[in-house]
Structure 1
Amino acid sequence: MINFLLSFTVSERVLACMGLAVILLAAIFGIIPDAVAHGVTEGDKGYIQESTGILPIPFIYLGAKHMITGYDHLLFLLGVIFFLYRLKDVCIYVTLFAVGHIITLLSGVLLEVNISPYFIDAIIGFSIVYKALDNMGAFQRWFGFQPNTQAATFIFGLVHGFGLATKIMEYELSPDGLLPNLIFFNIGVEIGQILALVAILIAINYWRKSDSFMRQAYSANTFMMMLGFLLMGYQITGHFVYSFQI
């Protein structure tokens, strides 16, 4: 296996490692139901249910942890910045995603909007498929037009926010300090997003220096699209299994 990897170029090794890491995450989350996309671990679940009052540091930590371990978020953000070369453009798109995420997370929890988490997470999987197809130029070839990428990023940010809101409502947060704690949680999400983006940008900028980047980009987005379909299938299956159980 080592000799096989050494036969790759440096950029191919970077791509292979990224792919293996994502596959490993998908495998882990497929085996452990409580750790699915937007899920909360048992330890965090117990803390959330028992906590009362305004708790800035714990909820900032939980928000950052959610983003850094949210492989669906990271896959979508990777797709969003895949062909963005200017820091200004990266900031615009990431901000659109973050604003959408904040709006639906806050409103979903405070207004107690009940939507099937399986349905929302299936759409989140679709968002990854959509962005991969967009990066591959599929919409131009198939339909002869290019959708508004900024609008799509904002809309999918709304969906991703709802995904977490549906999970949080399952744990019945105490109304004592609810709004401040949700705000602190969002602050943590943004901190986690920045940390994740820094790591992604370092890796992808290093990869872009390779002459083979454009040749490998299509394959990378095809792989990302496959993972999006995998997430969709996982959530749709989960919906039917859950419906059968009740």
Structure 2
Amino acid sequence: MILLMLCTGVDAWAHNVAEGDKGYIQESSGILIMPFIYLGAKHMVTGYDHLLFLFGVIFFLYRLKDVGIYVTLFAVGHSTTLLFGVLTGITADAYLIDAIIGLSVVYKALDNLGAFQRWFGVQPNTKVATLIFGFFHGFGLATKIVEFEIAQDGLIPNLLAFNVGVEIGQLLALGAILILMGFWRRTGSFMRHAFAANTLLMTAGFIFVGYQLVGYFVALSNSLFGE
């Protein structure tokens, strides 16, 4: 996953949307349920930030009940701020939001490594953290959608359809991850390689953060001094 992220170019990172999808969103008008379900599912399945975070969340979850709880918390947070941001038009700087999303990946990797317990003697509430980072993931996507100036005609049905697509995409991606994790956990190498896997996960998160901060300062410089 990390190699794909590095090889597909910066335009695919975080909440950037493919040019064709962006044009469709900007030009569409009226209620378009199925196309927006497709766009939502596509965004989740190809969203490396979401997939890496979910990978970290379920890394040490063995019971489907626990997986369901955490994924539901993430979905509630993501859906809430996605709808709120688009319907109210409230946004934040996309680079800074995506940097926080990168930090969510770093946090989960450190949590899996037991770093907070060793360093500070405390264990953050993982359920609360998953919900809060879900808020940021949804707000980041809302910020991008608002930038596209989506048509008001059919806005709410289309947003709801998009959100349904996101959840469908999340279930598909999660199913694939769980199947692969199931095979890996049956091998003797799982616990031996868990440290290395979460170190790579943390590295990917820091790469996200660095990329977004560079983009933020470049954009800030261009706005202050001109391109």
Q: TM-score, normalised by structure 2?
A: 0.96
| Match of residue 125 from structure 1 | 102
Structure 1 Cα separation of the partners of residues 91 and 175 of structure 2 = 34
Output aligned runs, 1:179-218, within 5 Å: 179-218=156-195
Structure 1 Cα separation of the partners of residues 147 and 180 of structure 2 = 36
Confirm or deny that 1:144 pairs with 2:121.
yes
Unmatched tracts of structure 2, length 5 or more? none
Deviation >4 Å, runs of 4+:
none
Q: What displacement does 1:118 show? A: 0.3
| Match of residue 26 from structure 1 | 6
Provide the aligned C-alpha RMSD in A: 0.8
Q: TM-score, normalised by structure 1?
A: 0.89
Output aligned runs, 1:30-49, within 5 Å: 30=10, 33=11, 35-49=12-26
Aligned residue type for 2:36: F
Aligned residue type for 1:99: V
Q: What displacement does 1:37 show? A: 1.1
Confirm or deny that 1:97 pairs with 2:77.
no
Unmatched tracts of structure 1, length 5 or more? 1-20
Confirm or deny that 1:175 pairs with 2:152.
yes
Structure 1 Cα separation of the partners of residues 9 and 92 of structure 2 = 22
Structure 1 Cα separation of the partners of residues 91 and 207 of structure 2 = 25
| Match of residue 134 from structure 1 | 111
Q: What displacement does 1:114 show? A: 2.1
Aligned residue type for 1:28: T
SS of the residue corresponding to residue 24 of structure 1 reads: helix
| Match of residue 65 from structure 1 | 42
Structure 1 Cα separation of the partners of residues 6 and 109 of structure 2 = 17
Structure 1 Cα separation of the partners of residues 221 and 95 of structure 2 = 14
Structure 1 Cα separation of the partners of residues 67 and 214 of structure 2 = 34
Q: Number of paired residues?
A: 223
| Match of residue 197 from structure 2 | 220
